[in-house]
């Protein structure tokens, strides 16, 4: 028995001397490649457009969200401040009405320190006082509760209660008395009248 006749002996592969098989690309028409390129380019442009739109939408969303958050903070600060304004007003009125002989007492200095702290908190919240005295009457920031008789009422001449705003948001209008503009003498007019 020879090796080639043995049933378990591996057989040597038969080599075909014919032409070796080569992997040829399928026949493609010359027009098929530019169409495929145009399709892929159009798909790429579509994806790029979608990406740019998504990015722009996200930037707009973030900007809107930041604006809404800032407005919400401002409205919350306004509501909290509106609750503290009567306390601030009471401290202001209390300090104005203290008799001169009691101004240097310890408890009076303590009350003045509390008033200073309240005003400091209001400033840190971005609170500003509404300008009133000597300004033209503006119904959007002033509330006229009195008018001097015989006047046009075009100018604020006295403030009964201060007005406050946070940024552009009015927290409380100033309660004022209106009248004619105050005539302020200049130095030349004072020396002329003397």
The model's pLDDT over 159-175, given as tens digits with 9 standing for 90+, comes to 998 999 988 888 899 99
- How many structural domains compose the chain? 2
Instruction: Give pLDDT tens digits for 136-151.
Output: 988 889 998 988 888 8
Expressed as residue numbers, the domain containing 157 is: 128-186
Of the residues 125, 157, 172, the one at which a domain ends: 125
Quote the CA–CA distance of 128 and 15 in Å, as a whole number.
99
pTM of the model: 0.57
| Residue 5 within a domain | no
77/145 same-domain check:
no
CATH number at residue 155: 2.30.22.10
Residue 169 backbone dihedrals phi, psi, to 5 degrees: -90, 125
Residue of 180, 173, 190, 123 lying closest to 157 (CA atoms): 180
106/164 same-domain check:
no
Q: What is the mean pLDDT of residues 102-125?
A: 88
| Residue 6 within a domain | no
86/168 same-domain check:
no
105/40 same-domain check:
yes
Binned at pLDDT 50, 70 and 90, residue 187 comes out as very low
| Residue 42 within a domain | yes
Of the residues 125, 145, 176, the one at which a domain ends: 125
Residue of 176, 86, 183 lying closest to 132 (CA atoms): 176
40/86 same-domain check:
yes
Binned at pLDDT 50, 70 and 90, residue 4 comes out as low
120/181 same-domain check:
no
| Residue 160 within a domain | yes
Residue of 141, 140, 165 lying closest to 74 (CA atoms): 165
């Amino acid at each position: 028995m020879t090796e080639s006749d043995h049933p378990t002996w591996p057989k040597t592969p038969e080599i075909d001397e014919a032409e070796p098989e080569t992997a040829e690309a399928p026949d493609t028409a010359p027009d098929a490649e530019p169409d495929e390129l145009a399709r892929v380019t159009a798909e790429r442009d579509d994806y790029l457009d979608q990406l740019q739109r998504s990015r722009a939408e996200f930037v707009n969303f973030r900007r809107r969200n930041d604006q809404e958050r800032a407005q919400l903070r401002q409205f919350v600060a306004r509501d909290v401040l509106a609750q503290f304004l009567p306390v601030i007003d009471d401290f202001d009125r209390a300090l104005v009405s203290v008799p001169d002989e009691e101004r240097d007492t310890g408890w009076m200095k303590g009350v003045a320190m509390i008033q200073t702290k309240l005003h400091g908190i209001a400033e840190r919240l971005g609170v500003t006082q509404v300008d009133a005295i000597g300004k033209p009457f503006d119904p959007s920031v002033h509330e006229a509760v009195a008018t001097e008789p015989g006047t046009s009422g075009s100018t604020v001449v006295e403030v009964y209660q201060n007005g406050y705003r946070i940024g552009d948001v009015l927290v409380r209008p100033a309660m004022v008395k209106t009248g004619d503009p105050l005539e302020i003498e200049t130095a030349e007019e004072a020396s002329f009248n003397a």
